[in-house]
């Protein structure tokens, strides 16, 4: 209701411009019991059902920072809705309102979990299944130097290469999909990974299809050969590293800026003056805490 209170609700604006696409991104959506309630990523994730699937055996569910509901189920799904609406407008000539709920966005994002329930992927409690840290061949393991390796050797031909790299004999081990042996196999794998450094394991598994990769820190990620070859990370004029825009388009790829990110409120006065606000009006907005400046001593 914030935009309605400003007199800028979709009904008003669509009358002015019927081609307008009006995206409304909220946690719980525009209607329903929680529509006007406060919340954060963890709350939307909880209400979607997805949070119940995240976590290790015998531990509380955990939210992976705010990537899933806020950014994936919220921002990305809302952006996709805008693209779909733009595509539809090219046919109908009409705009529409997008009700982007983070709860529904992350729930839809998790469709695989719903659609695969009858395939046996999620038949066991949280943390005991194939892809949620239950399997010894889909897990992270600590190395002797305190770093980690990620293992994703799901298919039998990948699994056999994992076993070979670990120096084990496949014929002397339980069957890969023997669920009852998974806890002991995880202990065995963990003890072996703990005997070498991350760099040593990379040397063993690089060039194989064992699906074993290093867990890279933010400090290391831009230095990795694969990422360097693709220029996957960029450096700004302050020397700060960040991801390059993705995905990469063949004909019109994004041209990333190498300037530092602006400070909060850094260009507030400049932009408002450009749009015709007077310095007196800007000062009033600032005094009413409607806007922010980089410094409280703005030059008004």
One domain for residues 115 and 160: no
One domain for residues 172 and 278: no
pLDDT at 298 (0 to 100): 47
One domain for residues 61 and 114: yes
CATH number of the domain encompassing residue 158: 3.30.1540.10
Domain for residue 126, yes or no? no
One domain for residues 66 and 145: no
**Structure tokens given for 41:** 């990523």
Domain for residue 110, yes or no? yes
Q: Please state the rounded mean pLDDT for residues 141-146.
A: 98
The pLDDT of residue 141 is above 80 = yes
221: Cβ contacts below 8 Å, ≥ 6 apart: 227, 233, 241
**CB of 172 closer than 8 Å to CB of 123:** no
pLDDT in tens, 232-281: 999 999 999 999 999 999 999 999 988 998 999 999 999 999 999 999 99
What is the C-alpha R_g of the chain? 25
**Domain range enclosing 20:** 2-119
Look up 40 and say whether it is catalytic: yes
One domain for residues 13 and 107: yes
pLDDT > 70: percent of the chain: 98
Query: Which pairing describes strands 138-142 and 148-152: parallel, antiparallel, or unpaired?
Result: antiparallel
Domain for residue 189, yes or no? yes
Closest alpha carbon to 132 in 56, 66, 215, 213: 56
Mean pLDDT of the chain: 95
Q: Kindly indicate the confidence band of residue 6, based on its pLDDT and cuts at 50, 70 and 90.
A: confident
pLDDT in tens, 156-191: 999 999 999 999 999 999 999 999 999 999 999 999
One domain for residues 20 and 102: yes
One domain for residues 14 and 69: yes
Domain for residue 43, yes or no? yes
Omega prior to 204 cis, within 30 of 0: no
Look up 70 and say whether it is catalytic: yes
pLDDT at 5 (0 to 100): 87
Q: Kindly indicate the confidence band of residue 88, based on its pLDDT and cuts at 50, 70 and 90.
A: very high
| Residue 134 to residue 182: CA distance in whole angstroms | 7
Domain for residue 255, yes or no? no
Q: Kindly indicate the confidence band of residue 297, based on its pLDDT and cuts at 50, 70 and 90.
A: low
Q: Kindly indicate the confidence band of residue 81, based on its pLDDT and cuts at 50, 70 and 90.
A: very high
Domain for residue 195, yes or no? yes
The pLDDT of residue 296 is above 60 = no
The pLDDT of residue 120 is above 90 = no
One domain for residues 86 and 173: no
One domain for residues 102 and 143: no
63: Cβ contacts below 8 Å, ≥ 6 apart: 41, 42, 45, 51, 54, 69
| Residue 192 to residue 185: CA distance in whole angstroms | 11
98-131 burial by CB neighbour count: b if 16+ within 10 A, else e? Answer: bbbbbbbbbbebbeebeeeeeeeebeeebbbbbe
pLDDT in tens, 216-241: 999 999 999 999 999 999 999 999 99
Number of domains in the chain: 3
| Residue 163 to residue 214: CA distance in whole angstroms | 17
One domain for residues 8 and 91: yes
Alpha helices in the chain (DSSP H): 2-5, 10-16, 41-48, 77-92, 102-109, 111-115, 156-165, 182-193, 198-205, 225-230, 268-274, 279-287
One domain for residues 163 and 79: no
CATH number of the domain encompassing residue 53: 3.40.50.10540
One domain for residues 14 and 113: yes
Domain for residue 225, yes or no? no
pLDDT in tens, 19-45: 999 999 999 999 999 999 999 999 999
Catalytic annotation, pick one of 40, 209, 220, 267: 40
Domain for residue 130, yes or no? no
Q: Identify the residue whose tokens are 């293992």.
A: 151
Beta bridge partners of 148: 142
Catalytic annotation, pick one of 41, 70, 145, 237: 70
């Amino acid at each position: 209701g914030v935009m309605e209170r400003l007199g800028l609700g979709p009904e008003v604006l669509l009358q002015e411009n019927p081609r307008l696409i009006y995206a409304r991104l909220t946690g719980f959506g525009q209607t329903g019991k929680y529509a006007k309630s406060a919340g954060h990523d963890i709350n939307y994730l909880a209400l979607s059902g997805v949070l119940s699937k995240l976590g290790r055996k015998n531990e509380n569910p955990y939210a992976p920072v705010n990537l899933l509901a806020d950014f994936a189920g919220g921002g990305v799904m809302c952006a996709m809705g805008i693209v779909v609406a733009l595509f539809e407008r090219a046919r109908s000539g009409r705009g529409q309102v997008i009700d982007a709920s983070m709860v529904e966005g992350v729930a839809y994002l998790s469709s695989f979990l719903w659609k695969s329930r009858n395939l046996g992927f999620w038949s066991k409690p949280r943390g005991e299944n194939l892809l949620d840290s239950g399997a010894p061949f889909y897990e992270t393991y600590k190395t002797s130097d305190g770093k980690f390796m990620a293992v994703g050797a799901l298919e039998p031909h990948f699994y056999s290469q994992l076993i070979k790299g670990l120096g084990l004999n496949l014929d002397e081990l339980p069957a890969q999909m023997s669920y009852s042996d998974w806890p002991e196999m995880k202990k065995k794998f963990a003890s072996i990974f703990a005997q070498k450094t991350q760099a040593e394991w990379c040397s063993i598994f690089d060039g194989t299809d064992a699906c074993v990769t290093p867990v890279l820190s933010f400090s290391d990620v831009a230095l990795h050969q694969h990422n360097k070859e693709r220029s996957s990370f960029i450096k700004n004029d302050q020397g700060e590293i960040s991801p390059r825009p993705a995905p990469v388009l063949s004909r019109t790829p994004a041209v990333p800026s190498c300037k530092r990110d602006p400070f909060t409120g850094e260009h507030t006065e400049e932009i408002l003056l450009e749009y015709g606000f007077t310095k007196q009006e800007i000062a009033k907005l600032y005094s009413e805490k409607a806007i922010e400046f980089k410094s409280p001593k703005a030059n008004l």
